[in-house]
Amino acid sequence: MTKKLKKRLYRILGGLALFVAALILEGVVGEQYPNMVLLAFLAAFFVSGGDVLKKAAMNITKGQVFDENFLMMIATVGAFLVGEYPEGAAVMLFYQVGEWFQAYAVNQSRKSIRELMDIRPDSARVLRGGEAVEVAPEEVRPGELIVVKPGERIPLDGVLEKGETALDTMALTGESLPREAGTGDEVISGSVNISGVIEIRVTKEFGESTVSRILELVENAGSRKSESENFISRFARIYTPAVVILAVLLALLPPLFLGGNWNTWIYRALSFLVVSCPCALVISIPLSFFGGLGGASKSGILIKGSNYLEALSRAEVVVMDKTGTLTKGNFAVSRIVAVSSDERLLELAAYAESGSNHPISLSLQLAYEQRSGKKIDTARITQMEDTAGFGVSAMIDGQRVIAGNLRHMEQNGISCKAAEEIGTVVYVACDGDYLGYLVIADEIKADAAAAVRKLFATGVRDVVMLTGDREETAQAVAREVGISHVYAQLLPGDKVDRMEALMQTRNGDGKLVFVGDGMNDAPVLARSDIGIAMGGLGSDAAIEAADVVIMTDEPSKIAKAIEISRRTLRIVKQNIVFAIGVKILILILAACGMASMWAAVFGDVGVAMIAILNAMRVLKVRGQDG
């Protein structure tokens, strides 16, 4: 609990003690010493509500008259003037209890955001002149080496130059399991080094680092208000002056024109003012959205503002890129079809392709090294020839090996049948004999199919794939993950055109969501109703253009983001209907003399507390999967 919350709690407890003492005093000597009773209730009133009176007076001098402090001051002071001392003191006391719960709720909702803000590094230990020097992260330049000890947070993005470790990325990605990292691996700022002293070669300045980008997103999220929040702000500006005017008319007109009792009608007007405070809406609605943003961040989902959180709840069509979103974006050997030996086929293909840095060649080399546990021995290769667009040929251990596409086999007189496979097929022959083929394909992410199912389960009407890949490959991936609408072989401009056509199919205020990760996705992300960037380590341009950033590479988090947004909006609507409904009912009853000031206290403080407790439910992220 913060010092401010403790101070307010002590004030409430002191006021409560004095209020109870005043009630006892009233019961014992009330008729004999009325002035003493008045002083006792005044003491309880000023101890519990002195700060409210001070704020009201200061705001009046600034021209900010119609706020809740002013309403409480008029209502409670008025209660004392008409002789209702217990009501005046009690209203102020219970109002302060409600304010304490509001402050506590806001403090709790900010906790997850504060935890995220703790990823900001205080310093970096940089190697200069053979010594480790502690400097501000902003002073470290790309190319310099920094040292990070176990238990310390990595201050800047870079590549692991020396050492091996496990990294805790929970604060960034919501992922509870540590990530292993070895020499040559990329590491991101904000991660915690769990084991071993490591040296990192810095690749980005602090202002461009992952941690800096995240902090900027979090700090700016609160400035983008939702439609509901803007409505409540406008509502409060009109509503508060209106109820003050109605209360004045309620106090004056019946006694002047109908011969009513002044005290009776002033008391009704004061009860009217107490219940009219709009704090249940003004506090609980922003608190609900703030809780939604915090709950999403716990799951590794950064939403750039309440407006995007609200828009996401109306997601109707989800359009997804293929590479890097549904697939891993890296090529791997998915199948080996050998005439005799799989191991021999893979070995010769890897050696033949070892002189190239093409992704297909690298995937063959990696597969060989992983399966055999051996490194490629270049001494075994005596001659190598690369035919662009066809394949390679090489002399390996004195044997002529040919690897490439079907046309390359035909050019070299090798007889083989075309393989009907999805992906890139590499055929291999040795000394004129056909050995078989290998299929290289982009791997589908483990949770891609589950992600599509979850999207439909949230009520999304359609999931569409847009990709620049070949039609056959795109259709194969779509079938595996459960997407029926596919548009393939698209350039970045074509994606924008296709997405704009899809936007015309939306119903009412439904929204179109685009999910991508690459540089060429930035234009589509910016054009969509809601753009979601996959992976905190994805393209800077995509993350900048997106409205929502999924810090992991898990497409299932898209459905999680929609679920959080819809749950947040349900709670917001519940609070609006409940608060306005109860207040209108008690306002009518108070005006008719059927509700006392105690009922008015419930209409204000009680409703506010119930709405705030309801708003705090957003912080609990159900089914959180890290």
Token output for 337:
């079809």
- Nearest-angstrom CA–CA distance, 303 and 309: 7
**CA dist., res. 109 & res. 104, Å (int):** 9
Does residue 528 contact residue 499 with C-beta atoms inside 8 Å?
A: yes
Q: Which residue has the tokens 């310390």?
A: 152
Any residues with CB less than 8 A from the CB of 92 and at least 6 apart, and which?
15, 45, 48, 49, 52, 72, 76
Catalytic residue among 157, 168, 321, 553: 321
Q: What is the 3-state secondary structure (H, E, C) of 77-141?
A: HHHHHCCCHHHHHHHHHHHHHHHHHHHHHHHHHHHHHHHHHCCCCCCEEEEECCEEEEECHHHCC
How many angstroms from the chain centroid is the CA of residue 148?
28
What whole-number distance in Å separates Cα of residue 359 and Cα of residue 419? 21
With CA atoms as reference, report the closest residue to 604 among 278, 296, 379.
278
Measured between alpha carbons, how far is 492 from 5 in angstroms, rounded to an integer?
A: 53
553 is catalytic: no
> Whats the size of the chain, residue-wise?
626
C-alpha–C-alpha distance, residues 565 and 583, integer Å: 27
Residue 582: Cβ within 10 Å count: 19
Cα–Cα distance, 598 to 601 (Å, whole number): 5
**Joined tokens for residue 539:** 């393209």
- Residue 248 to residue 564: CA distance in whole angstroms: 44
What does the alpha-carbon distance between residue 171 and residue 452 come to, in Å, rounded to a whole number?
26
Residue bearing tokens 């005290």 = 263
Q: What values do phi and psi take at 111, rounded to 5?
A: -60, -45
Give the span between the Cα atoms of 503 and 180, in whole angstroms. Answer: 42
What b/e sequence results for 456-468 when a residue is b if at least 16 CB atoms lie within 10 Å of its CB, and e otherwise?
eebebebbbbbbb
Residue 25's contacts (CB-CB under 8 Å, 6 or more residues apart) are 36, 37, 40
Q: Kindly state the DSSP code that residue 256 receives in the 8-state scheme.
A: I
Contact (Cβ atoms closer than 8 angstroms) between residue 557 and residue 578 = no
> Could you give phi then psi for residue 340, rounded to 5 degrees?
-130, -65
User: What amino acid positions are annotated as catalytic residues?
Assistant: 321
